[in-house]
Amino acid sequence: MIRFLLERLLQAALLLLVVAFLAFVMFRFAGDPVAQMVSIDTTMEDRTALREALGLNDPLPTQFAQFVMRALHGDFGLSYQLGRPVAALLADRLPASIELSLIAFGLALLVGIPMGVYAGLKPESWLSRAFLIFSLAGISLPTFFIGIMLILIFGVELGAFPTFGRGDTVDLGWWTTGLLTPSGWHSIILPACTLGLFQMTFIMRLVRAEILEVMRSDYIKFARARGISKTRIHYGHALKNTLVPVMTIAGLQLGSIIAFGIVTESVFQWPGIGLLFIQAISTVDIPVMSAYLLLVALIFVSINLLVDLLYFLVDPRLRMSSK
Amino acid sequence: MTPEQRPNLFLRAYDSDAGYKFRRSPLTVLAGLILVLMIGAAMLAPWIAPFDPFDKASIDLFNALIPPAWQSGGDPAFLLGTDDQGRDLFSTILYGTRTSVFVGAISVALAVCAGVTFGLIAGYFGGLVDAVIMRIVDIQMTFPAIMVALLIDGVTRSFMTRDQHSEMAIVVIIIAMALSIWPQVARTVRASTMVEKSREYVLAAQVIGRGSGAILARHILPNVMGPVLVIATINLGVAILGEATLSFLGLGIPAGEPSLGTLIRIGNDFIFSGERWMLIYPGLTLALLVLSVNLLGDWLRDVLDPKLR
Amino acid sequence: MTLLSIQNLTVEYPGRKATFTAVRDVTLTLERGEILGLVGESGAGKSTIGTAIMGLLDRPGHVAGGRILLDGTDTTSIPDLLGARVSMIFQDPLTSLNPLYTVGQQLVETLRTHHRLTPPEARGKAVDLLDQVGIREPETRVDQYPHQFSGGMRQRVVIALALCSDPDLIIADEPTTALDVSVQAQILDLLCNLVKERGVGVILVTHDMGVIAQTADRVAVMYHGEVVEEGPTQQIIHAPRHAYTQSLLAAVPRGDRKLDRFPSLSYAPIGADVQTAPDLSLTSTWLRSKAPDVGTGASTKPLLSVKGLGIRFLTKNAILPRNRRYVDAVKGVTFDIARGEVLGLVGESGSGKSTVARMIAGIHPPDTGQILFDGQDIAARQGSHDRQALRRQIQMIFQDPFSSLNPRMRVRDIVAEPIHHNRLAGSGAETQKIVGDLLTIVGLGAAAGDRFPHEFSGGQRQRISIARALATRPRFLICDEPTSALDVSIQAQILNLLKDLRDALDLTVLFISHDLPVVRQMCDRVAVMQKGQICELSETERLFETPQNAYTQELIDLMPSLGPA
């Protein structure tokens, strides 16, 4: 078990290093860092000095090592556009994104799994067919269009929900949350539904397919032949055996939550890191882009490690083989 | 044995299981019809569109923001109304669909070529080649399509001028979408290849003395194309959505050229002022297009993978 | 009172174009403590009867006529039928247990479904049951997961699970087909004893006449959905009345003495595979014309000689070489095969016999040892032109007729591929002529070339495989379990064809099988493999009559037989 974890950690570190290298290449070669930091009337000498001071004349491996060291300390330099430290910018924006993603993902799981289980256990019922058509619509409608339509219907026409921003927030010192104020909750509903809808339909389809597959297996047939009750078979056997593959994919899906988070934040002007990233791209703000890249990779790697750990809790075959 | 009558291809297709499942599902038939109609109209856009949105001479700002023909103030010349620059919405939607389908199809084709090649190699040879290819695939899969596209877009922006970037926009989107789709194809092909290569018909070809290339091309490739077709169809939808999303975010196709995404982006600016047709019709077109593609993808999966009913 | 009474049962599967009748008008009875064997070839409808009794028919299959009575009550009106009154044992113990629960959890769950038991009581009973089905240390084993049990042990667990509710009737559907012979005998013994002790009625569904002979009290023989003959086991086996039963029994290879050919009593009243008779006269034309590269014909040297052959497989990969784990799949295997000889290679699953075949065929390069063909080392001539000429003379026939032909190629192209590859024909027209001849030789007729493999039955596909193997004009043929996936009557036809071809073409053959009776009928000499090594090699008759090795002795003792003739 420890060996397995170490192996996974090593892989994760390797992945992060590769991403760091990408970020570094971008940082170093896409655009001239000096040109961004100086004004037009800086002299050639000053520029050369700055070059030297920034270490841009060092051999590349040294520069990369320094880049990694600085990144480890959370130093990604200054944003070209906003002139503030990138790390502070990200820290400011992170809570908004995390709250939105978690609520959307929770929504997707809470609704998507029961729908999938139902559609898998009763594939012939009309409700299952309705779910299936609904899910097809869910994966066919682009996230941004769903967002816009929600704004149009609930924001503009009905005026029931705010159409942009986070509402009032409470500063807890290390975290600014919108979840402690009524207007915060009010504001998060539309973006969370927008972001959650795709995930929900995706998870529903996945769970349905897995349940259908498990229900065809010999051990389910044998359990039925032994007279085990339907409820036990459905929720004890089928559901538990479905969990392993569902967990994997659901873990991977978090990547797409981050990606579609960008779209959702952009539609709702939600002040998260996704919006920051979009703005950074359109203004070619390289430090922000590369820091965002690293942050996303870190989040992703951590989640995957967590999913791997969960495996051990569910699947005895893994627990045994790696003891 | 009497020489049997081979019915023609159409009859055989009609009578096959696939044809049967197609006929039995009215939704799939409808989706197929809509898709044929939409793609046909999009391809023929230069000939059937009433106006040419690229022709600055035919655009008149006086015609701006005319509502659809059946609403009050509508003009029968502009069936779905006009946009803020006076362009006929119906024509721009036709041209926009053309761009979207074009971008989607090319990027999926590229992704399938790359994915099939690398998947076959990884699955058949295994070992170090496999490890390297799959590691790259894993890393690529870590980053969802839209993020890969955004990053490529961001990087190209940093060393291109704005005009260059606009010219390159379609290429960038195609490359970005292809890059984000190929890992999925490669994974599927690799998994199928690993199953197929241990099948005895492949061993038989080895015993005959066939080389790896011949075995891959003649024996394994035809047998792994089924799942590839399903993935390609589903990802055609993904690619069209991806292009639309990027264009909507203002990072893809420049706003001057119609694509469904840019049209929705323009429409979105008028969401609070009431000219909703500019948002709704491009949006519905996009949704209908992708929905039809996905319905066909589902049907293909049913037919080619009977295990997943 | 009769335990089970099936009256005029008909089961139908409505299809898109036609309704398939899987079981037609079947009437059977079963008493307590009795084992009724239900035997027949694939598609005979024997498994369908089992699932129909349980009421577990897959949709859209349904009972279209007749009824099933358990203790005089219609099964459809018994609420606690499943598990409580009737239990079932499936074929594959690897997939019948839920991998995520311990054996104990699955037993306790079943016990508590049927009896009022507290969890500790149920656990105690679970341990008892495991003990009864012959699992040692049941106290510790009860908390283990299915993957920690071997195949035979799992099947014991499955039996324990089936016994949980003290059922009146157990339906065992091919309960030993997935197991090795040595395990099969133990499981059958266990089943027999439990049945007699507890007075349970058993319906034993199987395709294997040997299993029936050992276990069943009465036998019902099924053919195309109908019971063609029913009676006491001894009568059915030794004095079958129906022509189909006679042909079926005649086709079962005998383990007790060698016959010249398999008696070919064909019985095909209803649309079975009808094929043209193999026309061996054609072998005198193309197949006989030896290519110039073929060496001296009559030498006393062995044609194939294997020395110290060994191969290791990686079982656990790791970055550091010292952490990698290997298993010796084959170790120090040495044997010779004389020209025109048939050497049998037998052993249980995992003994390495197929791996030896694959090394000789050039699919796996061996790690150690030499393979000399006609005095030349095959492995040493990697990639050279000579090597291809050597390799051309060694061909192979595989086990699974459903995966050994490329489903996307026409039969004509499948058979032509080796001819093209080795440039054995001057023109396309000549190739087509040869392909047609080959298909005629194996009894399919030249017209078969236009079709795709899925249009053929298992036996016919195996004929296509043989045609492909002959297409390089080989001198040496490796047969890797060529008939183990086939029904016994088809097996007899294919084995006869192989014998005829060997005689007509002077082929030298390596014949691999786990089925000792088949080996006795086919081979001149036999090598027995166990755990990657050869433990005994001698003349066939001597090996079967006076085996020297203990393991060989055990295998021969376990050989299923139909009893004294």
Higher pLDDT, C540 or A7: C540
How far apart CA C60 and CA C15 sit, in angstroms, is 8
* Distances from the Cα of C101 to the Cα of A263, C144, C145, angstroms: 43, 9, 6
Which of A12-21, A199-208, C514-523 is the least confident region? A12-21
Of A227, A237, A320, the CB nearest to C98: A237
Q: Which residue of C has its CA nearest to A229?
A: C113
**Which CATH superfamily is A94-270 part of?**
MetI-like (1.10.3720.10)
Residue B205's closest CA among C198, A249, C8, C471?
C471
User: CB–CB of B86/B94 below 8 Å?
Assistant: no
How far apart CA B240 and CA B235 sit, in angstroms, is 8
Strand, coil or helix: what is C342? strand
pLDDT, average across residues C255-268: 68
pLDDT, average across residues C129-155: 88
pLDDT, average across residues C514-525: 90
Domain C1-79+201-250: give its CATH architecture.
3-Layer(aba) Sandwich (3.40)
pTM of the model as a whole: 0.81
pLDDT surpassing 50 at residue C158: yes
**Got the DSSP string for C462-525?**
HHHHHHHHHTT--SEEEEESTTTTS-HHHHHHHHHHHHHHHHHHT-EEEEEES-HHHHHHH-SE
Of A152, A255, A286, the CB nearest to B158: A286
Which chain B residues have a beta carbon less than 8 Å from that of C417?
Answer: 205, 208, 210
Q: Where does CATH 3.40.50.300 sit in chain C? A: 1-79+201-250, 280-292+339-364+384-557
Strand, coil or helix: what is C431? helix
Q: Which two tokens stand for residue A137?
A: 């619509």
What pLDDT, on the 0 to 100 scale, is given for residue C267?
A: 61
Strand partners, B278: none
Summarised one tens digit per residue, pLDDT across range B97-136 is 988 899 999 999 999 999 999 999 999 998 888 888 888 8
In CATH terms, C280-292+339-364+384-557 corresponds, of 2.70.98.10, 3.40.50.300, 3.40.640.10, 3.30.360.10, to 3.40.50.300
Average pLDDT in chain B: 81
Instruction: Compute φ and ψ for C314, nearest 5 degrees.
Output: -75, 125
Of C82, C101, C147, the CB nearest to A227: C82
pLDDT surpassing 90 at residue C265: no
CB–CB contact B204 C400 (8 Å):
no
pLDDT surpassing 80 at residue B78: no
How far apart CA B15 and CA C100 sit, in angstroms, is 44
How far apart CA C399 and CA C480 sit, in angstroms, is 6
Summarised one tens digit per residue, pLDDT across range C2-12 is 889 999 999 99
Q: Would you tell me how many other CB atoms lie within 10 Å of the CB of residue A196? A: 26
pLDDT surpassing 80 at residue B286: yes
Which of A309-318, C49-58, C165-174 is the least confident region? A309-318
What pLDDT, on the 0 to 100 scale, is given for residue B15?
A: 66
pLDDT surpassing 50 at residue B165: yes
Average pLDDT in chain A: 82
pLDDT, average across residues C457-469: 91
What pLDDT, on the 0 to 100 scale, is given for residue C179?
A: 80
pLDDT band at B289 (very low <50, low <70, confident <90, very high): very high
Q: Which two tokens stand for residue B9?
A: 């291809």
Higher pLDDT, B148 or A222: A222
Secondary structure of chain A in the HEC alphabet?
CHHHHHHHHHHHHHHHHHHHHHHHHHHHHCCCHHHHHCCCCCCHHHHHHHHHHHCCCCCHHHHHHHHHHHHHCCCCCECCCCCCEHHHHHHHHHHHHHHHHHHHHHHHHHHHHHHHHHHHHCCCCHHHHHHHHHHHHHHHCCHHHHHHHHHHHHHHHCCCCCCCCCCCCEECCCCEECCCCHHHHHHHHHHHHHHHHHHHHHHHHHHHHHHHHHHCCHHHHHHHHCCCCHHHHHHHHHHHHHHHHHHHHHHHHHHHHHHHHHHHHHHHCCCCHHHHHHHHHHCCCHHHHHHHHHHHHHHHHHHHHHHHHHHHHHCHHHHHHCC
How far apart CA B85 and CA B108 sit, in angstroms, is 33
pLDDT surpassing 50 at residue C565: no
Average pLDDT in chain C: 84
Share of chain A above pLDDT 70, in %: 92
Which chain C residues have a beta carbon less than 8 Å from that of B199?
Answer: 403-404
pLDDT band at A192 (very low <50, low <70, confident <90, very high): very high
Which chain A residues have a beta carbon less than 8 Å from that of C84?
Answer: 227
**Residue C346 burial (C-beta neighbours within 10 Å; 0-12, 13-18, 19+):** buried
Q: Would you tell me how many other CB atoms lie within 10 Å of the CB of residue B237? A: 22
Q: Determine which helix (DSSP H) or strand (DSSP E) holds B34, and give its type and residue range.
A: helix B26-43
CB–CB contact A320 C145 (8 Å):
yes
Q: How far apart are the first and last CA of chain B?
A: 37
Q: Which two tokens stand for residue C317?
A: 């990969």
Higher pLDDT, C510 or A286: C510
Q: Quickly list H helices, B126-144.
A: 127-142
Summarised one tens digit per residue, pLDDT across range A256-287 is 788 888 889 988 989 999 899 888 887 778 88
Higher pLDDT, C533 or C426: C533
User: CB–CB of B183/B113 below 8 Å?
Assistant: no
CB–CB contact B286 A139 (8 Å):
no
Share of chain C above pLDDT 70, in %: 89
Range with the largest mean pLDDT of B84-88, C447-451, C525-529: C525-529
* Distances from the Cα of C439 to the Cα of A84, C393, C413, C415, C446, angstroms: 80, 19, 12, 9, 5
What pLDDT, on the 0 to 100 scale, is given for residue B90?
A: 86
How far apart CA C444 and CA C461 sit, in angstroms, is 10
What pLDDT, on the 0 to 100 scale, is given for residue A82?
A: 78
pLDDT surpassing 60 at residue B3: no
What pLDDT, on the 0 to 100 scale, is given for residue C464?
A: 93
pLDDT surpassing 50 at residue C197: yes
Summarised one tens digit per residue, pLDDT across range B223-232 is 888 889 888 9
What pLDDT, on the 0 to 100 scale, is given for residue C417?
A: 92
A160 in contact with B at a CB cutoff of 8 Å? no
Higher pLDDT, C229 or B305: C229
A96 in contact with B at a CB cutoff of 8 Å? no
Chains that touch C (3 or more CB pairs under 8 A): A, B
Summarised one tens digit per residue, pLDDT across range C352-363 is 888 999 999 888
Chain A stretch 210-229, residues whose beta carbon is closer than 8 A to a beta carbon of chain C? 217-219, 221-229
Which of A94-98, A225-229, A253-257, C444-448 is the least confident region? A253-257
A318 in contact with C at a CB cutoff of 8 Å? no
Q: Determine which helix (DSSP H) or strand (DSSP E) holds B169, and give its type and residue range.
A: helix B162-197
Optimal mutation site among C80, C100, C205, interface A, most CBs of chain A within 10 A: C100
What pLDDT, on the 0 to 100 scale, is given for residue A13?
A: 85
What pLDDT, on the 0 to 100 scale, is given for residue B115?
A: 95
Secondary structure of C377-425 in the HEC alphabet?
ECHHHCCCHHHHHHHHCEEEECCCCCCCCCCCCCHHHHHHHHHHHCCCC
What pLDDT, on the 0 to 100 scale, is given for residue B154?
A: 75
pLDDT surpassing 80 at residue B290: yes
pLDDT surpassing 80 at residue A124: yes
Q: Which two tokens stand for residue A57?
A: 């004349």
Residue C337's closest CA among C382, C297, C307?
C307
Which of B131-140, B212-221, C291-300, C420-429 is the least confident region? C291-300
pLDDT, average across residues C427-454: 87
Which chain C residues have a beta carbon less than 8 Å from that of A245?
Answer: none
Which of B85-89, C102-106, C171-175 is the least confident region? B85-89
Range with the largest mean pLDDT of A319-323, B27-31, B144-148: B27-31
What pLDDT, on the 0 to 100 scale, is given for residue C289?
A: 55
Where do the domains of chain A lie?
Answer: 94-270
Summarised one tens digit per residue, pLDDT across range A67-80 is 888 888 777 777 77
In chain B the domains, ranked by start, together with CATH numbers, are 24-55+62-276 (1.10.3720.10)
C405 in contact with B at a CB cutoff of 8 Å? yes
Angle at C36 between CA C35 and CA C41, to 5 degrees: 130
Range with the largest mean pLDDT of A168-172, A238-242, C414-418: C414-418
What pLDDT, on the 0 to 100 scale, is given for residue C344?
A: 93
Name residue A141's amino acid.
L
For chains A and C, count residue pairs whose Cβ atoms are closer than 8 Å: 76
Residue C49's closest CA among C80, C3, C88?
C88
Summarised one tens digit per residue, pLDDT across range C87-100 is 888 888 788 899 88
pLDDT surpassing 90 at residue A253: no
Secondary structure of C263-315 in the HEC alphabet?
CCCCCCCCCCCCCCCCCHHHHHCCCCCCCCCCCCCCCCCCCEEEEEEEEEEEE
pLDDT, average across residues C204-212: 88
Q: Is B195 left (phi over 0), alpha (psi -120 to 50) or beta?
A: alpha
Strand, coil or helix: what is B86? coil
User: CB–CB of C9/C49 below 8 Å?
Assistant: yes
